[in-house]
Amino acid sequence: MAMLSQPRTFFDAPLSPNPDEITADIAFLGVPFGTTAGTIDSNLALGPRAVRDTNIFHYAGRPGANPAQGWYDYDTDTEYLKGVTMVDCGDVRLDRTDPNATFDGITNAVRRIVNRGAFPVVIGGSHAISAYSCKAVAEKYPDLDVIHIDAHHDYYYGPNYGWTGALRRIDLVCGDSLRRLTTMGIRPNVAPQTGRDMYDDMKKRGVEIVTAKRFRELGPRDAMALVPEEDRPIYITLDIDVLDAPFNYAFSAAASGGLTYQELSGALQELTTRGRVVGIDLVDCLPTNVTPLVGGQLLLDLLSKLFPSKT
C-alpha cells in the first residue's frame, strides 16, 4: 500500500504542529494573513505557501539521507546546517472576523516556540503581523533591538490594523521592551506618507535611518557597522520589497533603487556579528516565481550563518 506524503513544509523539515513539543534548533511558522489597503484577504496571504513550495534546501538532503544533512558550499568549501534540526509548526489559525484574535494567536504561537528554546522564523503575509511576533520574542529577550529592513519607513499612524505602519506598530505594541530601532533600505520615493514630518518623528524617537542610497554608498559591512556591536538580542523584520524590482517584481508599492539579493544577503549575515539574533520574520512574499525563491534563499543564508554545523 502506498504511503501518503506529508504536506509541503519549509525546507521539507518535519512537521511539529504542537509548539509545546518542539525539540529542534529552528522552528518555522506560517502566518497566511494578508492585508492590502486595509483588506484582510489578498495575495499576501499566499506567501507562506509560496515559500514552502520553493526547492532551495532540503532538510534531509538527498532522498533517503539522514535528517539535518546540511548543505555544502563549494565557494567556501564549508558544510552548513549539518546536524542543525528544524521543524515546521504549520500556520497560525486566522480569525477573519476579528484580526486582533489572529494577532493574539501569532504572539501565543511564537511565545511557545521561544519558550522551547527554538529560533523562530515567522513567514507571512502582511507586515502587520510583525509586531505580534516581535512582542513574544521581546518577552523572552527584553531590551530588544529591532532591525527593520524595508522599502518603506512604516512609521505612520493609521485608523486600523491595515493602515498603521509596521515599524510604528512594533513600537506601540512592544513599548518598553525595545531598546533600539533601526530601519534600513528605505527609499524616499515610496508611498505612503513620505513627508518630512514622518522622518522628523522617527528621528525624535531615536530611530537610526539607513536609506537604500546610504546603504549602497557604505556597502553591507559598513552599513551594518552602524548597528552597535554588543551582547544584546536582535530581532529582524524583513519586508522583501526592500529588494529592487528585478529581484522582486510583485511590489504592493513599487519603487526603483532597491537593494540587490547579494547586498541584502551580505547585510543579514553581517548582522549576526553585531549581537545575538534571536528571531526573524519575512513578510510580503507575494506568490510569484522569483519573490518566494529569493525570500527562502535569504532565510537559508541567515540560518547558515547563525547555526554552525554540529557534525
pLDDT for 136-167, tens place per residue?
999 999 999 999 999 988 888 876 666 688 99
The end-to-end CA distance of the chain, in Å, is 36
Q: Are the CB atoms for 31 and 129 separated by under 8 Å?
A: yes
User: What is the full DSSP assignment across 28-87?
Assistant: EEEE----BTTBS-SGGGGHHHHHHT--S--TT-STTPPSS--EEETTTTEEESTT--EE
Does 5 have pLDDT greater than 60?
Answer: no
pTM of the model: 0.93
Which domains does the chain possess? 10-306 (3.40.800.10)
User: What is the full DSSP assignment across 154-171?
Assistant: -----SSTTTS-HHHHHH
Does 62 have pLDDT greater than 70?
Answer: no
Q: Hey, how many other C-beta atoms are within 10 angstroms of the C-beta on 262?
A: 10
The proportion of the chain whose per-residue pLDDT surpasses 70, expressed as a percent, equals: 87
Q: Give the separation between CA 267 and CA 170, rounded to whole angstroms.
A: 21
Per-residue pLDDT tens over the stretch 85-100: 999 999 999 887 888 8
Q: Which of 42-56, 83-97, 182-196 has the lowest mean pLDDT?
A: 182-196
Which amino acid does the sequence have at 126? Answer: S
Per-residue pLDDT tens over the stretch 8-25: 899 999 999 999 999 999
Per-residue pLDDT tens over the stretch 254-302: 667 889 999 999 999 999 999 999 999 999 888 877 889 999 999 999 9
